[in-house]
Structure 1
Amino acid sequence: MAMPTIKQVRAYTVRGGGADYHDQGAEHWIDNHIATPMARYPEYRASRQSFGINVLGTLVVEIEASDGTVGFSVTTGGELGCFIVEKHLARFLEGQCVTAIEKMWDQMYFATLYYGRKGIVINTISGVDLALWDLLAKVRREPVHALLGGPVRDELQFYATGARPDLAKDMGFIGGKLPLHHGPAEGEEGLRKNLAELATMRERVGPDFWLMLDCWMSLDLNYATRLAQGAHEHGLKWIEEALPPDDYWGYAALRRQVPPGMLVTTGEHEATRWGFRLLLEQGCCDIIQPDVGWCGGITELIKISALADAHGALVVPHGSSVYSYHFVITRHNSPFAEFLMMAPQADRVVPMFNPLLLDEPVPVNGRMKASVLDQPGFGVRLNPDCALHRPYTH
């Protein structure tokens, strides 16, 4: 059939949850004294929102085709992302055939190279790319995973990220990833507290349940090595994002120094095939964790995954709901997925991008049947009760 062309691109922002899941109310575990690169300053230690982790807000990209079909996506980026979409990227999209995704990605990336490459610009390109995949799949009346080659397994299995791995075990997840609460600036006492918390959680979950630590870019090589060595007796499966994302040399050294059998993982804040090529070629990690809403979208994640496969590394995308589920279900080197526990006390399963998305699937007993993902596009809708704001037009 004749494919429609892209008629109009629109960009909106919205506050409160959604893709900017750090934009939460008070007393949420995700903002409770978590080790960060800013924890070296006591005034920014207790809350990540204190140094502005929630300033961007959610970016919503809508792309309307000439036949009236609308694809959309959500990621972080807020008003900055809206400006980039409306004032720069739209020119590479409108008038193009909806199938020309590779060409559009290429033009967006190279046109922004002089001020982009990573960060907010790649977040924004990722959002546009996800909306393009949603649009094309809806035009073809297929789920996105069908465009990616189709499922290679009947269901997804999940580990949970949150403050209560013990509750996650009861909910059927295969593992639990704790946020690290104390960084190097809190000294030996902080290190002891980190290990004590891990020991307590190991007692609660028993010997076979996966336990991991999310360090959120907060450590140096010496501290990360000592933490990994101390955590070994508590059966830590992996240490995640221990160092700043640009410290490829530190990651390579850490991987050599962790106890045998412990995995080193990173990549949540890495972007594009070139960034992940550095991680893989320098032997920085065992598992890469690209966020499909930040690394360049589905178009780039396909390339990143192929690189990882050639290097014998697993790809376990950072939690991004349906946008990663449709990819993981199609790849053998993505054997499980992450689920962020967005309930304030991590004591129940709620949709990750609540309240912004409707029909967003969640794991049941730590699993999700492939058939749950069989609706056209990514299978979700925007909640009309969420007030979208379009700060720019073109």
Structure 2
Amino acid sequence: MWPTKKVFVRIESEDGLVGWSCTNGGEVVALIIQTHLSRLIQGTTVSDIADVWDQMFNSLLPYDRSGFAMMAVAGVDIALWDLHAKTKSVSLVTALGGGAGDLGVYCTATQPEAHRDNSWWGLKAAMPFGPDAGDQGLQANVDCMAAFRKAAGPDSRIMLDAFMAWDTDYTLRFAEAAVGHDLYWIEDPLPPHDLDGLRKLRAGLADNTRLALGNFSFTRWDCAELIREGLVDILQPDVAWAGGITECLRILDMARAADVPVILHNTCEQPWALAMAAARQSDPVVEFVDRGDASPLYGLMGAEPVFDNGRVLVPNNKAGNQPPAKIAHQFLGHSAKKD
């Protein structure tokens, strides 16, 4: 649905400290960062992250206020926070206020039997079929949830992610057919712009079937609309897509005020998201996506997460002892360095 290439952002201070981040969007996001955003941060003070965020966002209004534009802002913002923590010689968790040493985890998997008898907070399935597969596909989706229920056991949570591939009628039909499996939530069944469809779902779903939305909410204003209309039960923004740490801190504050729980999307592949959850949420739950032996991102963006009895340890490595500095230059990992 968008370029799946990762974009790595590198920001260097005048004294050689380096902040890193990673987001999606491939060449499109790389172009926005390299040709547009880079000039806005040249020479700024590392700690002025909120001001830089506002300037980046406002400068991108002619482009868009979502999607690739916000992935680009997120990439720069996360790298700035990484650099900010290093200038203070502290971990990102500490820079964000300090917090829990471990977090509860739910697992997104394709092979539920591999997670039988594990202590995950819950198990989530990616749905293999949509409306075009007809009744046979719908039944296969129900059977998939039955397999997840069997693996999770009767007392654990099971969830599903439809990745915006369903419509209102299909979602309601599925929910009725799968009612015996006690689904904890249905995630992103419709595209985020289909507010009428989400309203119909909210009215038609049983009270105990939650809607998890927000993977494709790219700003606090997107999230505010879901909260204001009472459409979302669990809000799930992705830090690397929704404007980075600065914007997601605002989203967390807004959701807390509305008493809407937040579970950050794809958390365990993003050490900055783990740090945010630990520092700014009370008893949070985070997502681990099982990609087989290991995700290739773990060795690039941080240490491989350590799981113990259904929980993940929060990375809390301290940076080297370096003084604060101003930004000297930034460049993308695959591009030529810009001085």
Q: Normalising by structure 1, what TM-score?
A: 0.78
1:132 equivalenced with 2:80 (yes/no) = yes
What is the rounded CA distance, in whole Å, between the counterparts of 1:190 and 1:198 in structure 2?
13
Deviations 1:152-198 (A, max 9, x none): x3421100111123323444322110010110111111111111221
Structure 1 Cα separation of the partners of residues 318 and 18 of structure 2 = 15
Q: Conserved in 1, the CA contact under 8 Å of 2:123 and 2:148?
A: no
Q: Does 1:240 align with 2:192?
A: no
1:161-310 to structure 2, matched below 5 A, reads 161-310=108-257
Alignment-derived partner of residue 361 in structure 1: 305
| Matched ranges for 1:43-58 at <5 A | 55-58=3-6
- 1:87 deviation in Å? 1.1
Deviation of 1:284 (Å): 1.1
1:390 aligns with 2:335: yes
1:373 lines up with 2:316 in the alignment: yes
Does residue 316 (structure 1) correspond to residue 263 (structure 2)? The answer is yes
Contact 2:116 2:151 in 1 (8 A): no
Identity across matched positions, percent = 35
- Opposite residue 389 of structure 1, the aligned amino acid is H
1:124-145 CA-to-partner distances (Å, cap 9, x unmatched) read: 1101000000000010011112
Aligned to 1:9: none
Q: Counterparts of 1:63-102 in structure 2 under 5 Å?
A: 63-102=11-50
Runs of at least 4 residues off by over 6 Å: none
Contact 1:71 1:131 in 2 (8 A): yes
Whole-angstrom CA distance in 1 between matches of 2:296 and 2:243:
20
Find the aligned partners of 2:119 and 2:140 in 1 and give their Cα distance: 27
2 CA distance for matches of 1:159 and 1:74?
22
Tell me the amino acid that sits aligned with residue 94 of structure 2: A
Confirm or deny that 1:335 pairs with 2:284: yes
Q: For 1:56 and 1:190, how far apart are their aligned partners in 2?
A: 27
> Helix, strand or coil: the match of 2:97?
coil
Q: Tell me the SS of whatever aligns to 1:279.
A: helix
Q: Secondary structure at the match of 1:64?
A: strand
1:92, 1:275 → 2: CA distance?
25
Q: RCO higher in 1 or 2 (8 Å CA, sep ≥ 6)?
A: 2
- The letter for the 2-side match of 1:310 is A
What secondary structure is seen at the aligned counterpart in 1 of 2:8?
Answer: strand
Partner residue of 1:107? 55
Q: Is the 8 A contact 2:305 2:313 kept in 1?
A: no
Distance 2:66 2:273 in 1: 19
- The TM-score normalised by the length of structure 2 is 0.90
Contact kept in structure 1, 2:117 and 2:152, CA below 8 Å? no
Residue from 92, 116, 129 that aligns with 1:144: 92
